[in-house]
Structure 1
Amino acid sequence: HPATFPVQLAEWCIKLHGASHVQTMLDPFLGIGNSALAAQRCGVKKFIGFEIDQTYLAEAKHRVSKIL
């Protein structure tokens, strides 16, 4: 499955943690990149994601590149 949560949920979690304190975010199960999109929207400076499924990884890269 690509993701079981919407981007807004990941944004909420980042904001709840304190987005101003987040310098780097790690997602070891990137999927299609919802957490990466949320990190960008919240102003996280550096994001690291891992995904073993090449199809999901390609989709994540495509989605993130659209907002850079």
Structure 2
Amino acid sequence: MKSAIAVKCDQRGWPVAIRWRSRLAPVRVLDAWEDVGAWWAGEGEKVFFRVELRSGPLMELYRDTATGGWQVYRVYD
């Protein structure tokens, strides 16, 4: 699952809230890591975050460092 998402960040650029199901939902970062992506296919570096919504699912998000755009990578039920 990859879909664009609006993310509110702190001073470090880490997510503190996301726009989820038409509302701003606070998140807690559980883990963060960098990935170079499929460089052979022209993908750039991404910064991934595993986050927990206060009243929702566990998710993985990433920020594309080239564009600054955010995507939902995975949602855990």
- TM-score computed with the length of structure 1 as normaliser: 0.26
Structure that is richer in strand per residue: 2
Task: Identify which of structures 1 and 2 has the higher relative contact order when contacts are C-alpha pairs closer than 8 Å and 6+ apart.
Answer: 1
Structure that is richer in helix per residue: 1
